[in-house]
């Protein structure tokens, strides 16, 4: 099963998206959907279309929350473009002309990307035209001298004045004629339109899917961030209402501060002093390294849980634990296992030998499974 997920609705048919990227195509996103995806441990998420009127829109905080857990999040064309503009400084990837126009201030109204659409039984087919598509089509027509700049300006003014659900090419051209648009130009444009229409949103979705494909082909590290989402009372309550909180079965899989510090301790003596461990966590966040280390630690915890459930490997007290120790020191310059293992563990910042052995065993299990 793919570890890439794309929230998509009217901007592009699902079959076209699936042909462009090996991903699981999900319905338009609503509040809580991104956060709940964490149970599937996604590698990357693409946000295109989303609900906003009859259901709460996807929260900014859930996107930040899942990015903090190492997930790369992309946005384009519709709701995804809006959220990307708002969160690109935090690491969200924005793609396409619509995103760029909002980012650069050429567009500023959310209804530019809004459309009425059918339900899942009809593939979320659009029932109105997005204003960003209208603008792109008129721009192309003007560049090709199909219409004059004055007519382009008039049609844009008429389109922006319409309610988003009422925007369609027939309705727009009829309203333009009522607003004294040149009848000859409107007729020429109407005849040109079937072949000349620009679907900017669809183009942007395809660009995003292509970028995700190329990005993942380079085997990037998990997303890293230089901040932490504050676990405020309201956020805790919101996660509980949306069922985002880690489930009972997944308890312990989210890496905590000590798990992240173990990643540093395993680097060897002197790298971490216990007294400055907590301060180091803040330094890691500032440098954008905390998210990567937390994702690595979480992978180990997940693998440890799988091994315990499968009962496929002996406990760390047996020969398997000794094999893990020998592998660990061999991989760090071919040195033998120290006779004073407790002293070595403490020099690395571990509280005791048992904690060190447990960290080494987790490292060995994940190395053996190819990470």
**pLDDT tens digits along 50-93:** 999 888 999 999 999 999 999 999 999 999 999 999 999 999 99
What is residue 351's predicted lDDT score, i.e. its pLDDT? 83
Report how far residue 212's alpha carbon sits from residue 48's, in angstroms, rounded to the nearest whole number. 13
**212 vs 370, which has greater pLDDT?**
212
Determine the average pLDDT of the residues in 204-232.
Answer: 94
Res. 289 pLDDT band, cuts 50 70 90: confident
Percent of the chain past pLDDT 90, that is, above it, reads 61
Res. 255 pLDDT band, cuts 50 70 90: low
First to last CA, the chain: 17
Lowest mean pLDDT among 188-202, 223-237, 297-311: 297-311
Does residue 7 carry a pLDDT above 60? Answer: yes
Pairs from 137-144 (Cβ < 8 Å, separation ≥ 24): 137/193, 137/196, 137/197, 137/198, 139/198, 140/196, 140/198, 141/189, 141/192, 141/196, 144/196
Residues 6+ apart with CB under 8 A from 258: none
Lowest mean pLDDT among 127-131, 189-193, 256-260, 271-275: 271-275
With residue 295 as reference, give the H or E element that holds it: helix 290-310
Query: How many residues in total does the chain contain?
Result: 371
Closest CA to 159 of 132, 127, 186, 184: 132
Does residue 356 carry a pLDDT above 80? Answer: yes
Q: What are residue 74's phi and psi, to 5 degrees?
A: -115, 155
Res. 275 pLDDT band, cuts 50 70 90: very low
Does residue 137 carry a pLDDT above 50? Answer: yes
Q: Could you tell me the CA-to-CA distances from 297 to 3, 66, 216, 227 in Å, in that order?
A: 18, 16, 21, 18
Report the greatest alpha carbon distance in the chain: 92
Report how far residue 88's alpha carbon sits from residue 317's, in angstroms, rounded to the nearest whole number. 47
The 10s digit of each residue's pLDDT in 100-117 is: 999 999 999 999 999 999
Phi-psi region of 134 (alpha: psi -120 to 50; beta: other; left: phi over 0): alpha
DSSP state of 88: G
Q: Are 73 and 45 in contact (CB under 8 A)?
A: yes
Percent of the chain past pLDDT 70, that is, above it, reads 86
CA angle at 212 for the pair 25 and 253, rounded to the nearest 5°: 75
Does residue 14 carry a pLDDT above 80? Answer: yes
Q: Are 259 and 294 in contact (CB under 8 A)?
A: yes
């Amino acid at each position: 099963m793919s570890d890439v997920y794309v929230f998509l609705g009217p901007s592009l048919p699902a079959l076209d998206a699936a042909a462009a990227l090996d991903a699981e195509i999900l319905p338009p996103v609503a509040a809580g959907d991104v956060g709940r995806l964490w149970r599937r441990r996604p590698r990357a998420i693409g946000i295109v279309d989303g609900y906003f009127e009859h259901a709460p829109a996807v929260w900014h905080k859930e996107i930040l929350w899942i990015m903090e857990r190492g997930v790369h999040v992309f946005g384009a064309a519709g709701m995804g473009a809006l959220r990307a503009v708002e969160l690109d400084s935090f690491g969200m990837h924005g793609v396409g002309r619509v995103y760029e126009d909002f980012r650069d201030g050429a567009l500023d109204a959310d209804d530019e990307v809004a459309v009425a659409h059918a339900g899942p039984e009809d593939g979320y087919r659009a029932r109105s035209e997005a204003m960003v598509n209208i603008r792109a089509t008129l721009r192309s027509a003007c560049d090709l001298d199909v219409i004059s700049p004055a007519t382009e300006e008039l049609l844009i003014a008429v389109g922006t004045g319409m309610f988003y659900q009422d925007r369609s090419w027939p309705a727009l051209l009829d309203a333009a004629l009522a607003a004294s648009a040149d009848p000859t130009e409107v007729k020429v444009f109407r005849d040109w339109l079937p072949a000349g229409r620009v679907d900017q949103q669809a183009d942007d979705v395809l660009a995003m899917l292509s970028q995700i494909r190329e990005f993942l082909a380079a085997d990037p590290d998990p997303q890293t961030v230089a901040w932490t989402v504050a676990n405020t009372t309201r956020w805790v309550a919101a996660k509980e209402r949306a069922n985002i909180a880690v489930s009972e079965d997944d308890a312990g899989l989210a890496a905590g501060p000590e798990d992240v510090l173990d990643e540093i301790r395993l680097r060897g003596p002197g790298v971490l002093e216990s007294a400055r461990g907590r301060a180091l966590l803040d330094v890691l966040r500032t440098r954008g390294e905390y998210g990567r280390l937390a994702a690595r630690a979480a992978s180990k915890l997940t693998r440890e849980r799988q091994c315990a459930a499968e009962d496929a490997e002996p406990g760390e007290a047996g020969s398997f634990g000794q094999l893990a120790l020998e592998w660990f020191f061999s991989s760090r310059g071919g040195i033998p296992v120290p006779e004073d293992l407790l002293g070595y563990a403490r020099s690395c910042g571990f509280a005791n030998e048992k904690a060190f052995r447990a960290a080494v065993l987790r490292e060995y299990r994940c190395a053996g499974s190819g990470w």
